[in-house]
Amino acid sequence: MALRLIRTDGDEILRKISKPVEVINNSIITLIDDMKETLKENNGVGLAAPQVGVLRRIIVVDIGEGPIEIINPEILNKEGTQIGVEGCLSIPEVYGEVKRPQKLKVKGLNGKGNEFEIEAEDLLAIVICHEVDHLNGVLFKDKAIKFIDVEGKKKR
């Protein structure tokens, strides 16, 4: 495993649409392992492949219950709404309130190529939506209702 460089706002790759993963090979498994390590090292809760310079539909999320990898995630259903404060490893020191679904159901593949579904709510739903947005070239700041000062960070 290796740490990957996190691309930051202004890098054109963050605005491109990621391509589906057609074959899960050693390269994809290495990417997922590297994403997990990079996420942990940077104290994040989610990371999408474009954030490390790879235009593939892969996300890794970890809200403190262990990492979840989702290849080719597809949101099947959304319920309710919630507004939460979001930040992003690709947009350091910027925070904003974003409206997201309260609950959702997602399907995708794990690293072994097995299809699965996951139901997420609250923080997990926010993180999954945030990361899926990255796969579509959308950043949280595009959806922010307002930008806020968090923990003494400067309002933008």
Residue 93 annotated as catalytic: no
Q: Which of 117, 119, 131, 151 is catalytic?
A: 131
Residue by residue, what is the 3-state secondary structure of 92-112?
EEEEEEEEECCEEEEEEECCC
Distances (CA, A) of 122 to 38, 66, 90, 131: 24, 16, 22, 15
Strand order in the sheet with 82-88: 82-88, 91-100, 144-147
Catalytic site positions: 131
